[in-house]
Amino acid sequence: MASYIHEEYLSEKRPLKVLDLGCSEGMMLLYCRKNNSEADFYGIDILEERKNKAIVRGYKDVVLEDIRQCDFRRYGDDFFDVVICSHILEHLEYPGDILEKIKGVMRDKALLLVGVPIGLLPGMLWAKHLEPLFNANKRREEVLKRFGHVNFFTLPELRKLLKRHGFVMEEARGDYFIRARKFFLENYRWWFEFNQWYGKLFPGVLGHVTVKARLNKRS
């Protein structure tokens, strides 16, 4: 995502305004500083300790609020050049609602950077429709209580969702050829580069996808 922001910065030839939904501790700003991208970062997060850390790292403003209730109009129309939506959509019962809300604060042709877990259709059907039949903790009402994964995407479904709300997918890259906590190969750059190479060729078959989409307000 930081590389996409850097490309946009070089293209626009001016500092960017970036909104980071679920900004956590503000790590994205550090990655952008590393590649010398000039950007003002604004964030939204639900935990105060994360907000404070992001402010210390240089975020201009972080709103302490659940994004489902957030009034995005505080930013004004056509304010942001980039919106980051990483590990958000899969947690929302109605992900399209957030896409509609952020459109108003994005300028025309602004970038939306989305990161979500992804899978192939059989696995998604299993997680969405079959597993809840015999596992009560996976039922929609229970998952919503703990803000878990309530939506399951394939790459075509994600593309359709974005298009329905005025975003055109420009690029998709799969991540995590093998996704496991503390997997020993994660410490090696060659493994990262292999994941990036494979994920560019086959973005819809890995465990996670990063999508670069552009808002077309005239669509």
What domains sit in the chain, N to C, each tagged with a CATH number? Answer: 2-118+153-215 (3.40.50.150)
Q: Where are the alpha helices (DSSP H) in the chain?
A: 2-12, 27-34, 48-57, 95-103, 121-125, 131-134, 140-145, 155-164, 189-201
- In order along its 219 residues, the chain shows pLDDT tens digits of 999 999 999 999 999 999 999 999 999 999 999 999 999 999 999 888 899 999 999 999 999 998 888 899 899 999 999 999 999 999 888 999 999 999 999 999 999 999 998 877 777 777 777 777 887 877 777 766 666 778 888 899 999 999 999 999 999 998 877 766 678 888 888 988 888 888 888 888 878 899 999 999 776
User: Is there a contact between 164 and 170 (Cβ–Cβ < 8 Å)?
Assistant: no
Q: What is the pLDDT of residue 123?
A: 72
Predicted TM-score (pTM) above 0.85: yes
CB atoms within 10 A of CB 144: 13
Q: What is the pLDDT of residue 196?
A: 85
CB atoms within 10 A of CB 17: 20
What are the residues whose beta carbons fall under 8 Å from the beta carbon of 83, sequence distance 6 or more?
18, 19, 21, 102, 105, 106, 110, 111, 112, 113
Q: What is the pLDDT of residue 219?
A: 61
Quick one: how many helices (H) and strands (E) in the chain?
9, 7
